[in-house]
Amino acid sequence: MPRTARKRSDTGTYHVMLRGINRQTIFEDNEDYEKFLQRLRVYREECGYEIYAYCLMSNHVHLLMKEGAEYLGKIFRRIGASYVYWYNWKYSRTGHLFQDRYKSEVVENDRYFLTVLRYIHQNPIKARMADDIGEYPWSSYNEYIGQADICATHFALSIFSDDIKTAIEQFSSFNKEENIDKCLDYEETKRLNDIEARELIKDIANIQNPNALQRFEKDKRDLVIKHLKNNGLSIRQIERLTGISYGLIRGV
C-alpha cells in the first residue's frame, strides 16, 4: 500500500516525533542525550531550521520546529544518519535505530503552537519521569526560563508579552497548567497484566524469578528497569513484581 503524502504546513511549522525501532531505547545514558542535542545544533546551522521546543525521552523524541532551506525528510535523514552512526559505534551494534518514518503534524496558528509546546514540555510528567517540568534535564523548558541554547525562544515568549520578565512568568505558568491536551503521539503501549508482566521481566532480565532483579548490579538493574518501563510496565507494577522500591524505580 503506498504511503499517504504528508500534509504541508502553510507556516512551515511542525510537531515532529522520532521513535526507536520496535520502541527500542535510543538514549542509554547522558552522553547519548548530549550527542543528539549536539546533532540538532550542528544541522540547525546547515539546514536552516528553527527549533521552538524539544523533549528527549528514553525511546522517542518530540520536536516543535520550523523548516528552513531543507524539507523535514532531508533534515531527519541527516540527523538520523549522524546519530545512528555514532550510537552504533559506541554500542558495537549494526542496523537501524529509528523507526523508518518520522511522524509529523502541521502547526498553523499560535493557539495550537502553544498547545504543542506545552504538550512537549509535559511529556516527562505524564511519563512519571519527573514531578516538575523544570526538573527534567532533556527538554527545552529551562531554555525559556534561563539561557537559550538550541531553541529560538523569542517567538513563543512574544505571544505572552512584550516584556521579557512578564513573558517568562506567564510562559512558566502556562506550561505547568493541568490540561487535557491531545497532540500527535504514538499509541500508548498496551498495559500488561501481572502474569504477562512477570514473563516479560524474566525474559528481558534472563532470570527465573522477577525478585532476582534485586540482586543485579545497579547499572544492569537500571537498564532492565528502563526497558520494562518502555514496554508499558508501571512503576507500581515493577515494584510489586520485583520487590524493588518505588523510589529506586522512579529514579531510573
168 with 212, same domain: the answer is: no
Rounded distance between C-alpha atoms, residue 229 and residue 234, angstroms: 6
pLDDT score of 121? 96
The C-alpha atoms of residue 227 and residue 250 are separated, in whole angstroms, by: 13
Q: Check: CB of residue 65 under 8 Å from CB of residue 14.
A: yes
Reading the block at residue 57, the C-alpha cell is: 525521552
pLDDT tens digits for range 130-148: 889 999 999 999 999 998 8
Interval 78-98 mean pLDDT = 90
State how far the Cα of 249 lies from the Cα of 239, in Å rounded to an integer. 7
At position 232, the amino acid (one-letter code) is: G
Same domain? For 163 and 207 the reply is no
In a domain, 182, yes or no: no
pLDDT at 22: 72
249: nearest Cα among 240, 196, 241, 238: 238
- Looking at the fold, whether 125 and 224 belong to one and the same domain comes out as no
57 and 147 inside one domain:
yes
Instruction: For residues 169 and 125, state if they share a domain.
Output: yes
Same domain membership, residue 161 and residue 208: no
Distance CA 96, CA 84 (A): 7
**228: containing domain:** 194-250
Quick one: 141 and 55 in the same domain?
yes
The CATH number given to whatever domain includes residue 88 is 3.30.70.1290
Q: What pairs with residue 105 in β-bridges?
A: 15
pLDDT digits (tens, 9 = 90+) for 187-241: 555 567 888 888 889 988 989 999 999 999 999 999 999 888 877 788 888 998 9
Looking at every residue in the chain, the average pLDDT score rounds to 89
Q: Measured between alpha carbons, how far is residue 104 from residues 14, 101, 146, 159 in Å?
A: 6, 10, 28, 23
The mean pLDDT of 79-104, rounded to a whole number, is 88
Q: Which amino acid does the sequence have at 190?
A: K
pLDDT per position as a tens digit, 167-191: 999 999 999 998 888 887 765 555 6
Pick the closest to residue 181 from 129, 113, 130, 252 (CA basis). Answer: 113
